[in-house]
């Protein structure tokens, strides 16, 4: 049901990045009037260049414009080198934590690419995402600092005052291939999330990463993570839809009824239903029978899916403006959305400090000034539109 203004290049992109390739349909789509500069901009914006290259594998590359081929060839060369260096950096951090007695798991990044697609270079990624138990955050941070990493977000007092609600901190190292995003939960406080961080530890499995075993999420936990992450980010990237579809296609043994029940207990069953709605429409994959009735009966899911799919089909990713309280899409219950909105409105952020720097003794004042700043921003945005 694509709208009349949908880009044909986006429909071609969806065909090319699906887990099950249909060379005939791709060939038919290529016979349309394709703007290859627009296709290249879309595939770069959605960060699915490796999937597009794989999807076009059944076509003759001689039929594509030279500039288009050259751009993808250059990307492939640089991407392969980068994935190897990021993987090496992850091995370094994994050894550091293992040797220091920190329990951890890698998610997204190199390990997601390897576990889902069997290839380090099959996805685009920048950072290394690692989660540790909250009780070990201080130890994990100390180990990173001892190994030459630093946090450019401020000292611990500043982060505790303005950043702790995000439940993650970023660490860098001179000469390192990527930053390390150190998490102790999967979503900001107080949003619900389909995957409860404390539940992952008994279920971890290990993945061979260049001869070193790295702990990663079990498949059922990964399904909840991908559904929650995509919903939290309002499915702005086709790459997230592709990841969820690939997991569903390559792990047919997953019990979606149980996965959905777990998400509902967390107050975020909508994230699983919305993920499948996106996959059904954009990846042409049938919804599991266990979820079909719940999706069909939910007006909220239908409205959200239609809005997000329309935006994907008609808007370039870099044109999508992230609005305050968008994370509320994760919430099944109106009360949770209200509670999350209230917490966001009253919790100071680094943006508040940058807008009006105050000495630490006066930081409590931000709880008063933040609501005013939020309202002013919303009014200003409304006037601009």
Residue-wise pLDDT for 100-133, tens only, equals 999 999 999 999 999 999 999 999 998 999 999 9
User: With pLDDT > 70 as the criterion, what percentage of the chain qualifies?
Assistant: 95
Model confidence band, residue 20 (pLDDT cutoffs 50, 70, 90): very high
Q: Residue 6 pLDDT > 70, yes or no?
A: no
Identify whether residues 270 and 370 lie together within a single domain.
Answer: no
Mean pLDDT of the chain: 92
pLDDT of 1 above 90:
no
Please check whether residues 12 and 90 belong to one and the same domain.
yes
- Domain identity same for 230 and 369: no
- Domain count along the chain: 2
For 107-139, give one letter per residue: b (16+ CB within 10 A) or e: bbbbbbbbbbbeebbbbbbebbbbbbbeebbee
48 lies in the same domain as 13: yes
For strands 180-183 and 128-131, give the pairing: parallel
pLDDT digits (tens, 9 = 90+) for 226-241: 999 999 999 999 999 9
Residue bearing the bigger pLDDT, 19 or 371: 19
Q: Which pTM value belongs to this model?
A: 0.92
Range of the domain at 380: 348-384
Residue 338 lies in a domain: no
Confidence band for 146, pLDDT divided at 50, 70 and 90: very high
Work out the average pLDDT over 317-341.
Answer: 78
Domain final residue, candidates 330, 360, 376: 330
* Strands of the sheet with 128-131, listed across from one edge: 168-171, 180-183, 128-131, 105-107, 212-216, 205-209
pLDDT at 154 over 50: yes
CATH number at residue 182: 3.30.460.40
Least confident of 29-43, 282-296, 320-334: 320-334
Alpha carbon distance 153, 164 (integer Å): 11
Provide the percentage of residues in the chain whose pLDDT is more than 90: 76
Name the phi and psi angles at 206, rounded to 5.
-120, 150
Alpha carbon distance 309, 11 (integer Å): 11
Same domain, 236 and 310: yes
CA dihedral (154, 156, 158, 163) in degrees, to 10, reads 90
For the segment 142-150, the average pLDDT, to the nearest whole number, is 96
pLDDT level of residue 265 (50, 70, 90 thresholds): very high
Q: Is the pLDDT of residue 381 over 70?
A: no
Per-residue pLDDT, 4: 39
- 54 in the same domain as 179: yes
- Whether the pLDDT of residue 329 is over 80: the answer is yes
Query: Is the model's pLDDT at 382 over the cut of 90?
Result: no
- Three-state SS sequence of the chain: CCCCCCCHHHHHHHHHHCCCCCHHHHHHHHCCCCCHHHHHHHHHHCCCHHHHHHHHHHCCHHHCCHHHHHHHHHHHHHHHHHHHHHHHHHHHHHHHHHHHCCCCEEECHHHHHHHHHCCCCCCCCCCEEEECCHHHHHHHHHHHHHCCCECCCCCHHHHHHHCHHHCEEEEECCCCCCCEEEECCCCCCCCCCCCCHHHCHHHCEEEEECCEEEEECCHHHHHHHHHHHHHHCCCCCHHHHHHHHHHHHHCCCCCHHHHHHHHHHCCCHHHHHHHHHHHHHHHCCCCCHHHHHHHHHCHHHHHHHHHHHHHHHHCCHHHCCCCCCHHHHHCCCHHHHHHHHHHHHHCCCHHHHHHCCCCHHHHHHHHHHHHHHHHHHHHHHHHHC
The pLDDT tens digits of the residues spanning 187-225 come to 987 789 999 999 999 999 999 998 999 999 999 999 999
My answer on whether 310 and 357 are in the same domain is no
Whether residue 259 is found in the same domain as residue 376: no
- Reported as a pLDDT band with limits 50, 70 and 90, residue 308 is very high
| Residue 324 covered by a domain | yes
Q: What gap in Å lies between CA 250 and CA 257, rounded to an integer?
A: 17
Nearest to 265 by CA among 336, 217, 216: 336
Q: Are residues 258 and 367 in the same domain?
A: no
Q: Which residue has the tokens 């919430």?
A: 331
Residue 32 region by backbone torsions, left for phi larger than 0, else alpha for psi between -120 and 50, else beta: beta
Angle at 104 between CA 100 and CA 109, to 5 degrees: 120
Judge whether 225 lies within some domain: yes
Number of other CB atoms surrounding residue 340 within 10 Å: 21
Residues 322, 360 within the same domain:
no
pLDDT at 322: 65
Same-domain status, 236 and 172: yes
- Residues 142, 47 within the same domain: yes
Q: What is the pLDDT of residue 325?
A: 59
The pLDDT-based confidence of 347 (bands split at 50, 70, 90) is confident
Confidence of residue 384 (pLDDT cuts 50, 70, 90): low
């Amino acid at each position: 049901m694509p709208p009349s203004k949908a880009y044909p290049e986006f429909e071609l992109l969806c065909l090319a990045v699906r887990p099950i390739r249909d060379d005939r349909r791709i060939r038919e789509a290529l016979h349309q009037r394709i703007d290859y500069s627009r296709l290249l901009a879309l595939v770069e914006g959605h960060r699915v260049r490796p999937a597009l290259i794989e999807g076009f594998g059944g076509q003759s590359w001689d039929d594509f414009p030279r500039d288009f081929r050259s751009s993808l060839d250059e990307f492939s060369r640089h991407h392969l080198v980068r994935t190897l260096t990021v993987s090496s950096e992850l091995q370094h951090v994994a050894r550091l934590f293992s040797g220091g007695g920190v329990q951890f798991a890698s998610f997204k990044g190199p390990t997601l690419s390897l576990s889902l697609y069997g290839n380090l270079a099959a996805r685009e990624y920048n950072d290394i995402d690692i989660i540790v138990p909250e009780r070990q955050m201080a130890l994990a941070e100390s180990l990173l600092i001892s190994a030459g990493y630093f946090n450019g977000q401020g000292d611990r007092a500043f982060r505790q005052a303005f950043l702790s609600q995000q439940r993650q901190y970023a660490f860098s190292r001179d000469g390192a291939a990527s930053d390390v995003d150190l998490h102790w939960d999967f979503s900001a406080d107080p949003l619900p999330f389909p995957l409860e961080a404390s539940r992952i530890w008994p279920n971890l499995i290990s993945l061979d990463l260049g001869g070193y075993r790295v702990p990663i999420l079990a498949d059922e936990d990964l399904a909840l993570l991908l559904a929650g992450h995509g919903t939290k980010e309002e499915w702005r990237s086709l790459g997230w839809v592709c990841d969820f579809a690939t997991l569903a296609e390559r792990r047919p043994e997953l019990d979606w009824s149980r996965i959905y029940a777990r998400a509902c207990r967390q107050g975020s069953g909508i994230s699983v239903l919305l993920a499948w709605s996106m996959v059904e429409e954009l990846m042409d994959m049938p919804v599991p029978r266990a979820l079909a009735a719940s999706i069909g009966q939910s007006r909220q899911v239908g409205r959200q899916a239609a809005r997000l799919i329309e935006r994907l089909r008609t808007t370039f990713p870099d044109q999508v403006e992230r609005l305050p309280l968008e994370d509320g899409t994760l919430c099944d219950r109106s009360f949770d959305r209200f509670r999350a909105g209230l917490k966001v409105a009253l919790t100071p952020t680094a943006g508040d400090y940058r807008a009006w720097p105050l000495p630490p003794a006066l930081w409590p004042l931000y709880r008063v000034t933040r609501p005013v700043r939020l309202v002013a921003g919303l009014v200003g945005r409304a006037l601009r539109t």
